[in-house]
Structure 1
């Protein structure tokens, strides 16, 4: 995930990394709560978070519950003419129903996730993409089961006790049907999920007390999941890869669940097509990717691995990312 800064690998120190990990657990956690869990002063947390979010190094956005939307979604792989990859990647990223877009190593393949109904999906695949003249080949694989999405990724910088202390309460009521005010609040949080109650009240045109009650109701219904978008290089992860795996059917559920809890994995999906499982992973370097393949996938009984390394993330969790410097 791109931050748009040069030499980002050395930007974050240990405390900054733990703060990012805290935002992964709960993107709306108050500085005082984070400070108490991490054992530092609230002033330090406030200052550090202001620098991280104000500089654009970290962006916290609302992430819809993908458990429903993901089933039947499409994992799209598009091979394009040389020199046309940016055109296709940014055209896909401009579509609201496409929350993830990657340019793969080699510069002639774009990967994307498409959340759309049959009609919009078919128009994209059969009419709009071929009409550009830049598309050489398209493959589309349906998502059959979601084991973990990007909102579940934890970089491993916190202890289990710290993660548990920061975790928001699980949903306690059925998801409400949002009304006009709810939708305005959700739209504001989709841009910046760390906005204060006062800022949200101003944006939504409602009293702050009402906004607090509505946010509590939305959280109780599981509609306030957040995602901390950050360049993984800032967390020591220089290699981003999509692994298309072949797993014996009797092992598919067990392997998917095992990978979903791995700190290097930021997405695991059962899919249609030649591979029946796709895992998105972050690794410290290419040697780390090799070790992940041999030491993590090997013992799980994975039969086949196709490794597609991401050269550049264009859009993640609905956020279009700046180009790397």
Structure 2
């Protein structure tokens, strides 16, 4: 008698996940996908850009070079898409796909709403537009305590600070991403300075995210207009797997309007806050997965996923300690960017 498949939600990473430890990720894990990677490299050559192979293997890792939007986006997309192909779908049934920020673009390709090449075209175009304009920046700050329990008063203070900065005319500052126990704020230069002054200092927070624009805020209105002109709705189709966006909305294979999906991706998703916590809450409550698989590269998204599950009180998780015990008993989250976890989900 065959073993039933485990139900899994696939989570796609966003910007900032390809760093020095990830250099060579494609070469280490995906040398068997030469045809796919060569097609991606051909695309980059046609756009007079360093190929992903060159960035991953030949050009020594440089934060200034590799973290640029027009390079990081393609690298992260290729790593994540190739990781997805390695999941053993004889053992795992993928019931939904979601992602964080730029991970939404990757999710579109993973779920089949874009083919592999159009997925690269989307991330490369958006990464290029963001790098070209580089409007504003982002700051990251935790709002949970050391055991990942929510501090609702702290959250309210941080949101009030951003609101006051806008109302005072001192600058523009907005919530950009609800990232589990972290809040990411997007702001213009004066707004960034005001946030830095007003947010509490602890360890290395608030943290400025290098080469990140003020994604998911009204500051991206100029990019929205350019993106819609550069990328038409014909690129998009219906997903083959349910997609969960940055509002927690489910795009179904049976009812998705591809033009509405295009419009969300290049309008709301660019200029309004991205609620990754809501996406995870919907993923577990609506699809009841046995596991969540986080695609590589990088290992930084695991904490935000775990914190989102705690905020949802999924399976009675209420703290970091409870989550760690759950992971030891029977891993709920598998991160393909972690060498010790990767083999759990690979084809056998």
Same fold, TM exceeding 0.5?
A: no
- The structure, 1 or 2, with the larger RCO (C-alpha pairs under 8 Å, 6+ apart) is 1
Q: Higher strand share goes to which structure?
A: 1
Q: Higher helix share goes to which structure?
A: 2
Instruction: State the TM-score, normalizing by the size of structure 1.
Output: 0.31
Instruction: State the TM-score, normalizing by the size of structure 2.
Output: 0.29
